[in-house]
Structure 1
């Protein structure tokens, strides 16, 4: 299914470029003009600022010089390190940046056909379930000394990063709207993926080594699957943003993670024993300060690692664990309000959600809370994410705003290993059947919660019978005795059990469990009953698989299936 792409503010890149190529003129964007309104909404532009096209800045401009690299970027005089760090991560994965910079070969300058250059570029960003194509002209803000005012590449004649930043500024209203953002939001805009925050200030991480190893495994799996990972240091109370720590890291700045690696280092030189070191490599996109602590560039610790391991420290993410439970990543996202900051209305709504485990046959809205399976905290961020494990069953997600009466558009996404489908519950009652005109309306709503079965005890091998006095065990012993008499005395009984709940024309069956101990069905069902005098029946069915082995030289196996059921009824 092709991805949906819409033109931002109705501007079609290909139509505009063909039009200006025929006219032999350079494009001037009327919707994002080269003026102060495109720069700031609170402060005045710096003195001496001007707008210039790339050919007015250097002689031989290029969109890319020797490809695209994470080392291409410098932040400039705008407080948007969050976006620069996201772009730096984006540059590490070609399949992702080629979506953001479409037709990158076609958009490149052609020195042999300068007549085809129209001064127009386009970039794509993911917004609220669709890709938005943003058109910009090539006029860039330049300071009094002739240097680009904002984001720029390390190579003076390379302009992809400056033009990408301009398109992102246009999408958000102006350049100043990019100050003080969230790297996770930029990564969503650049990839269409989901962001999952991981807090490192939890006390458990500092006290328990197994918690640190679990965090490292999460990062390693994510990085191996080519996810984009960033990190930043949240300033504590009394600490200044952008203050440099003793180790060389900067508080409040965003860093891109470029490698996650496990290496072996000598524990003690005399013993020859090796220990595993868990390492995460970060990159500073603006490149003014470096890490100066252990394992920094040129430190003696690097002498402990073999040359082979040094070469492997450049590995380039998705979290999926599948056991009996299903791990699901749930992301609730609200419409971005950054573009409203120019009008003084750019604050996000505090949003969150609850996940309720409901009846397996529910298709209508939830009227009361049954069992909470997971929940998020309320946050005024653009997206709220929760990762949780769910046992088999049906669940309802309830997105809400913290403030009563506050409304807004939202996007709900689920990520899981197995295929899942989302359905919006819009009705308070199930849809009527095709014969609803001939049948009475439901008069009673009944929920059934089948928790477990107790008293099951099954013989596992020849000559072993149970002495329990329960009726279930008596029947099991009787059948096993018949098998023991009718067949040669070498058999093994492999028992399974399931339950069936019946009400009027509805039948709900549990999955099959091993009939050992007290099987936990934990089945919730709901019935909209037309006839209150018709009983609800619950059947517990036991499947015995008798494995018969002959005494011939070449052993042959035969299976005998016996299904026993006990029915209970309740009105």
Structure 2
């Protein structure tokens, strides 16, 4: 029997920590076992060639390169590019690389955040692989993909033109971990072209398998600074995005920011300027260049108003894509802030170890379990339903939020660009004792007579939607749904609940 309060048909995530698909026991993408493949290559004295992601045009994908450029692409192993290739030189750093011709700033900005957290980085990038002993042209990386960790093997043949990699660029010509990590994720997505355009949240969750929260900076919460500071202390990944411009292509604004672009949050600090505290945020552009030129930028005279110690600690005038700005400017010029941690501890002050995660997988099937949103009164009740109990009222010390609910669509296509995301959301209803059904689902009459206790603010066309909720003691039913009825898709419902509420 599940422990009291666990959602009906939902298992606690910690029960699956060591099972197939856990970080310690990942699944093999396409059944390719890294250790077996490496032993075979060493025994046979051959270098690995990955037939599941072959070094040819199929892996580059459609529409990314012009025919004239494709004609000049040559796939080379690192030893054919430089004389003494290294997997990593000294240590992993955001300054190791810059974005190539591929529109995957969302992925590279997430890697920039990843380099601050060795524990998470080592999960994604296994150690003890390189170009030295037992090298056989084989590498592997790990990503969390829709409920499970997968180990992804690749060969080290990289697409080049004139002897240089055409996608992510390493600033040290003999360092190849960025190019190989990018190739592994391209394999997961289906091709390099399938990595064009995306969101920080997608890559951050795939790097951590953890808890993600998105904050709309156009209407920031009053505790935004506290949330960012706490996320930094708990080792959460942070990034933010600028609004899209009128042009479909990226354009540089007069203030130095790029429209429709992802940035890594690399620092959060308060300094004294002219006798007053100022909250400033450090950001990094994955282009490896191109910086904000307003207040607190590298050349700003405002730096003369802070102490020499703060100036020495914070200010760098290198053209490396990294810069500072105030929290107010962050909210004015960026649209979203994404926070993602291994666990929910960063969600609340003094809450380390006080959260529990539960997860369920489900599916909407046209004609049976895809009833659409509440606008469809006759069919809404046919959607999957999940029940939870909140046993104890949260204390006033812990603010108002006691539950983070996430709904993620699970694709059924290999190529990321072919995935059709529906507009999704979820609705939460309180269940009174008189409402208890004899068996099975709550009927249409239950939902017709009820007002939602909580719900997503809007149904959006995204891989994942989430809401940070307050639920008082009682029993509830959560109904995930697409906006329109009869849309077939799989989903993952994750509930992160404060243990003091015993939900």
| Cα distance, 1:336 vs structure 2 | 3.7
**Displacement of 1:326:** 4.6
**In structure 2, how many angstroms separate the alpha carbons of the residues matched to 1:279 and 1:382?**
31
Please tell me whether residue 250 in structure 1 is matched to residue 272 in structure 2: no
**SS state at 1:303 partner:** helix
- After superposition, the Cα gap between the structure-2 partners of 1:341 and 1:129, relative to the gap in structure 1 and judged at 3 Å, is closer
- The residue aligned with 2:14 is none
Matched length: 397
TM-score (norm 1): 0.66
Q: Quickly say closer, same or farther: Cα 1:48–1:421, change in 2 above 3 A.
A: farther
Mapped pair 1:56 → 2:128: no
Q: Which runs of 5+ in 2 are unaligned?
A: 1-16, 316-323, 325-338, 350-393
Give the 3 Å change call, closer, same or farther, for CA 421–389 of structure 1 in structure 2.
closer
On the 8 A contact 2:401/2:468 being kept in 1, the answer is no
**Residue 131 of structure 1: how far off its partner (Å):** 0.2
In the alignment, structure 1 residue 285 sits paired with structure 2 residue 283:
no
1:323 matched to 2:341: no
Structure 2: distance between partners of 1:109 and 1:419: 50
Corresponding position: 1:140 with 2:158 = yes
CA deviations 1:101-121 (Å, max 9, x no partner) are: 12x1x21222xx4xx211000
Please give the alpha-carbon distance, in whole angstroms, between the structure 2 residues aligned to 1:360 and 1:67. Answer: 59
Match of 1:127 in 2: 145
Q: Given the superposition, is the C-alpha separation of residues 35 and 13 from structure 1 closer, same or farther in structure 2, using an over 3 Å criterion?
A: same
1:235 paired with 2:244, answer yes
SS in 1 for 2:282: strand
Residue in 2 that maps onto 1:349: 422
Matches of 2:257 and 2:411 in 1, distance apart?
A: 30
Residue 355 of structure 1: CA displacement? 1.2
Distance 1:99 1:72, change over 3 A: same
Q: How does 1:201-220 map to 2 (within 5 A)?
A: 201-202=218-219, 213-220=222-229
CA RMSD in angstroms, aligned pairs only: 2.4
When Rg is computed on C-alpha atoms for both structures, the one with the higher figure is 1
Conserved in 2, the CA contact under 8 Å of 1:172 and 1:338? Answer: no
Change (3 A) 1:155 1:334: same
Q: Name whichever of 1-10 and 254-263 sits farther off.
A: 1-10
**Partner in structure 1 of residue 497 of structure 2:** 416
Distance 1:282 1:40 in 2: 31
Which of structures 1 and 2 has the larger relative contact order (alpha carbons within 8 angstroms, sep 6+)?
2
The answer (yes or no) to whether the contact 1:122–1:167 under 8 Å persists in 2 is yes
Q: The residue matched to 1:412 in structure 2 has which SS?
A: strand
Write the distance in 2 (CA, Å) between the matches of 1:6 and 1:360: 43
Task: Provide closer, same or farther for how the CA distance between residues 351 and 421 of structure 1 changes in structure 2, counting only shifts above 3 A.
Answer: farther
Label 1:169 to 1:338 Cα distance change in 2 as closer, same or farther (>3 A).
farther
Q: Structure 2: how far apart are the matches of 1:239 and 1:28?
A: 40
The alpha-carbon deviation at position 337 of structure 1 amounts to 5.8
Q: Does 1:406 align with 2:430?
A: no
Contact 2:402/2:501 (<8 A) preserved = no
Residue 358, structure 1, aligned to residue 431, structure 2? yes
Alignment of 1:378 with 2:459, yes or no, is: yes
